[in-house]
Amino acid sequence: MTNFSVNRRQAVRCLAASPALSLLKPLCTQEAEASGRPEALGVRLQDEPEPAAQRGAALPTQSAADEKTKTKNRRFRTALVPSAVGIRLSQQEAIAAARQYGFEAVEPQIDYLARLSDDELAVLREQMAQAGLVWSAAGLPVDFRGAEERFAEGLKRLPDYARQLRRIGVDRVGTYIQPVHRQLTYLENFRLHVARFRAMAEVLGEFGIRLGIEYVGPKRSWTAGRYPFIHTLKELRELIEAIANPAVGFTLDSWHWYTAGETTADILALPGKDVLIVHLNDAPAGIPVDEQVDSVRELPLATGVIDMKGFLGALVEIGFEGPAYIEPFKAELRRLPTEKALALVAESMKKCIALIES
């Protein structure tokens, strides 16, 4: 197996020593991106899991973050993001559902919102203000993983997209990094990501838009190809430091935090202002952490495998102010009637908030 720890250190050293970064022409045409996550390749490892105390699993004792949270107030907003749950709603339906079920932010549908006139957008903003709602986060419409030509095309269109985001009132976008590559070494892939994210951040930053990057933690994902890539929070911090643009920050996911074997201390080491987006979910019970599959998750607190109280408590402690939403990747949830699925998601979110506000 590739010694990814050594490769990561080499990448950072070489990058620091290099006077300039050039865009690499990636050899990505065979990359397993069809599903967006490489775990579909089905690698199964039998490594013995680490103790629960080291893997983000729920513990019977209260963490230091929990104790400190008693004197802190929650600043982040609970968000309804129907696309993350597998629910199809129009923008108006999403706003109405967010209001009905007690959410504080809602997913923006950029294609729809961009077609509204200034007057129509002002009316919509007033409706949201009366409901106590703000926008959550938008997606990143640039293919930064593929061929150079496709990246260049997306980058060329990015200013118009960012201009629309500012007009609509959306101040952040999010994306994730694939944790493996079949052809690019860690160093090659690191340089590629630094160059491309830096180019995108320069555009977004001009319009006051920030970019939250998410790592993918499951072992079955980052061992599914020849060259493992960033799959821990520490490695993501190295990438963001190398990008060196204040428009770039973190998207944290309780699932990836758990599967990467991280603790509340890893979150507490982050500046709260640089955590831009948070995803909440739980893991299936009875499965060793190294055998968890990225596309099979649970609603937060459904199993108690992930230490949700510690995770959220640490976010409160660092002063995270962005949107937090549920992303369960649960097929059964997608098959439910819309109202039933919304009720379950809302109930799960309320339980999460109760952990840190009780």
State percent of the chain over pLDDT 70: 80
Bridge partner residues of 210 (DSSP): 172
For residues 3-25, give the mean pLDDT.
45
Choose between 197 and 43: higher pLDDT: 197
Q: What is the DSSP letter of 243?
A: H
**146-200: pLDDT as tens digits:** 999 999 999 999 999 999 999 999 999 999 999 999 999 999 999 999 999 999 9
Residue 340: pLDDT over 80:
yes
Q: How far is CA 237 from CA 153, 314, 327, 347, 349, in A?
A: 28, 17, 23, 33, 28
Within 10 A of 178 (CB to CB), how many other CB atoms are there? 24
What whole-number distance in Å separates Cα of residue 238 and Cα of residue 14? 13
What whole-number distance in Å separates Cα of residue 278 and Cα of residue 84? 12
Q: Write down all domains in the chain, each with its CATH number in brackets.
A: 4-30+68-357 (3.20.20.150)
Q: What is the DSSP letter of 50?
A: P
Residues 6+ apart with CB under 8 A from 320: 75, 76, 272, 275, 278
**234-265: pLDDT as tens digits:** 999 999 999 999 999 999 999 999 999 999 99
**296-333: pLDDT as tens digits:** 999 999 999 999 999 999 999 999 999 999 999 999 99
Q: How far is CA 219 from CA 222, 252, 291, in A?
A: 5, 17, 7
Indicate the pTM of the whole model.
0.82
